[in-house]
Structure 1
Amino acid sequence: MDSTLRQLSAYAAVARAASFTAAAAQLHVSQSSLSRAVADLERELGARLLERDTRNVELTPAGIEALRIAEQIVNAHRSGMKELERFLLGESGTVTVATLPSVAALLLPRVIMDFRRQRPQVAVQLMDGLEQSVLSRVLSGDADFAITTGESSGQLEHRPLVRDQFVAVLPQDHPLAERSEVTWDDLAREPFLAVGQDSSVRRLTDAAFAQIGVRTAPAAEAGNVATVGGLVAAGLGVTAMPALVLPLLGTGPVVHRPLGEPTVHRRLDIALRTRRPLPMAADRFLETLEEFRTHRHDLPPGVSWV
């Protein structure tokens, strides 16, 4: 049995109007083509659906049940096509963003709020994690795009978005806290508290120490920046963090000081799979993010739009 949507729509129109002439006028088709469609449906079903005479069209018991089923199918198709249209216009669906925790917590909330105000039927899913896990989410197709660190590759295209500067994070009563600026060499002389090696923060701090010719073994390390902040607050050592991360360190007694010699920035990019078109809703989200960048919406101290 292979009844088509056209046959079901034709039958439903005739059954509701109880007239081939009225149904043909409603559907803007010829009466003969409408009659053929209904006859084809009856033949495929092996049942008479309508009793016809020169003036009247009446539904048989099979015709009554066929009308109920046909209207369900036609209405479901109409509803599905409208839903597909909304998706293709970027008015429904889900935008999935893989990103670093600091971006998820501090950069994106206002963007999401503005985006959802314009498109309330679109959900936003954030997959926060460290650099490599974030990039793998995009490569696997689990995320539409990422906002993270890293470099362009054959598989990923990077679009610069923001950058933030590294600062020294010190216990409140530490002697270095009395200075107006701290150097990387100053930090290297202290017990240094590091983020785990799978973090972009660790990669950049290691590179900064290498730039001044210092190799320092961490006094302690932790996978979470909040944990590192807690260790600093407890007086176990010092660390360096990019400015966007600072609000995630917690409320312990720590101070921040500008960090120079060398000045180190972390660049955060939009990362997309090369030659892979985005769903329209994701494209609309990036447009909203671009509006924020273009209009230079305020960012935390030490963070700037690229």
Structure 2
Amino acid sequence: MANITLKQIRAFIAVAAEGSFTKAADSLHVTQSTLTSSIKVLEDEVGLQLFDRSTRSVIPTRQGEMFLPTAQRILRDLEDALDELRMAAARERGSVSVCAAGSFITYVLTPALMDLAQQYPGIHTRFTEGTTQSVPDQVLSGEADFGVTTLFEPINELDSALLLTDSYGAVYGADHPLSRETSSLTWHRLSQHNMVRLSKANGIRILLDSEPKIAGLFKNTVYEVSGVASLQALLRRGFGFSALPALAAKSLVVEGLNFRLLTRPAIRRKLYVVKKKGRSLSPGAVAFFRAMIDALENMAPDGAIDVTFTQSEIRDFCGF
């Protein structure tokens, strides 16, 4: 059965439908001898006669009638699958799943989605908010086509490319004592205030904990939360300050909180895009990836956020 071809199945269906080799050959735009040869090879392969032939008509045998619905289904399923591939290649249909930090989703992926939806409305898009640990896990498991996260060391199973870096600063409410200070803020000066920290699973926290000069200043954490939304609630009520990278702090600044860069030392976070090593992205994922790159390039200038990638690096990463 392995030698049966799509050409033979099409010939069989056409002869059954037309009841004539001549008409079937015309409908398939082939010569009658070519069509007859295809049917003979098919019958030899299955070891059965599939048509009763006479001078007046060609009709399927009982075995041919039994095979006809299956042959039609095989052809229909294959043509549907090929149509899906063609539409995916044309970005008329497809899907993409991306896992990233919430701030990156808000300020980069959402504008990218707006552009993608205008160009390719048939592409289904799914965002998942993830942590430094969960983003690589989702990419490796296939739940996400690609992700954006902080990497503290290379992961052998992943391809990665640096997208941007952003500086850490202090975030606090309008009534916090830091609001009355006019000189530059250092980490040491913050040590006299209560720090609201993110959980240890968050890359923002992990980076600070890895800096000896900083970690030693804030050993006694009074308040700890799992996400930026909870952080915002505490800071607005004056529970202290927090230290966040500039992109992560944007949503809090929008809500009326203050953000000031921290010095001595100046700390910058690095955000990487990651995908499975050696695996190409689907057409839908490539389309969204391009929209993401455009969104990054079109971000409003911000001295605390530096878009670092080059087009050649992105081409190497994606392979286009």
TM superposition score normalised by structure 2 = 0.80
The percent identity for this pair of structures is 30
Q: For residues 128-172 of structure 1, what are the alpha-carbon distances to aligned partners after superposition, in whole Å with 9 as ceiling and x for unaligned?
A: 111111122223333222111114343333211122222211232
Cα distance in 1 between the residues matched to 2:214 and 2:193: 18
Give structure 1 stretches of 5+ with no counterpart: none
* 1:168-220 Cα distance to aligned partner (Å, 9 max, x none): 11232122111234221121111111100111111233345625963532111
Q: 2:293 aligns with which of 290, 296, 302?
A: 290
SS in 2 for 1:108: helix
Deviation at residue 125 of structure 1 after TM alignment: 1.9
Any conservation in 2 of the 1:230–1:252 contact (CA below 8 Å)?
no
Residue 196 (structure 1) aligns with? 199
Matched, 1:304 2:306: yes
Partner of residue 123, structure 1:
124
2-structure distance, mates of 1:67, 1:153: 52
Query: 1:164 matched to which residue of 2?
Result: 166
Residue 64 of structure 1 and its aligned partner are, at CA, apart by 6.8
User: Deviations along 1:11-32, whole A, 9 cap, x unmatched?
Assistant: 2222333331232244344423
SS of 1:123's equivalent in the other structure is strand
- Partner in structure 1 of residue 312 of structure 2: none
Distance in 2 separating the partners of 1:48 and 1:26: 20
**SS at structure 1 position matched to 2:82:** helix
**Cα distance, 1:252–1:39 mapped onto 2, change above 3 Å:** closer
Preserved contact between residue 296 and residue 305 of structure 1 (Cα < 8 Å): no
- Asked whether the 8 Å contact 2:99–2:144 carries over to 1, the reply is yes
Structure 2's unaligned 5+ residue stretches are 309-320
Which letter maps to 2:278? R
- Residue matched to 1:145: 146
Q: Distance in 2 between matches of 1:70 and 1:52?
A: 23
Equivalent-residue separation in structure 2 for 1:285 and 1:253 (angstroms):
32
How far apart in 1 are the matches of 2:139 and 2:50?
A: 55
* Corresponding residue for residue 232 of structure 1: 235
| Equivalent residue number for residue 112 of structure 1 | 113
Secondary structure of the 1:282 match is helix
Distance 1:300 1:49 in 2: 75
Give SS of 1:185's match.
Answer: helix
Whether the 8 Å contact between 1:94 and 1:281 is mirrored in structure 2 is yes
- The CA RMSD over aligned residues, in Å, is 3.2
Structure 2 residue aligned with 1:264, among 255, 264, 267?
Answer: 267
Shift of 1:115: 2.2
Question: Could you report, residue by residue, the CA deviation over 1:46-67 in whole angstroms, capped at 9, with x for unpaired residues?
Answer: 67545531x5445678867765
What is the correspondence of 1:1-306 to structure 2 with a 5 Å cutoff? Answer: 5-39=6-40, 44=46, 49-53=51-55, 55-57=56-58, 70-88=71-89, 91-150=92-151, 151-180=153-182, 181-208=184-211, 210=213, 214-249=217-252, 254-293=257-296, 295-298=297-300, 302-306=304-308
Secondary structure of the structure 2 residue equivalent to 1:126: strand
Between the aligned partners of 1:153 and 1:254, the Cα distance in structure 2 is 36
SS in 1 for 2:217: coil
- Residue by residue over 1:57-91, the C-alpha shift from the partner in whole angstroms, topping out at 9 and shown as x without a partner, is 45678867765554443232212112123335655
- Counterpart amino acid of residue 16 in structure 2: A
Structure 1 225/297 Cα, relative in aligned 2: closer, same or farther at 3 Å?
closer
Write the letter of the residue equivalent to 1:142. E
Return the alpha-carbon distance in structure 2 between the equivalents of residues 78 and 158 of structure 1: 37
Separation (CA, whole Å) in 2 of partners of 1:292 and 1:253? 25
Structure 2 residue matching 1:214: 3-state secondary structure: helix
Distance 1:34 1:97 in 2: 49
Contact 2:98-2:128 at 8 Å conserved across structures: yes
Contact 1:184 1:209 in 2 (8 A): no
Give the partner amino acid of 1:139.
L
- Report what 2:314 is aligned to: none
Output the CA distance in 2 between the equivalents of 1:291 and 1:258. Answer: 27
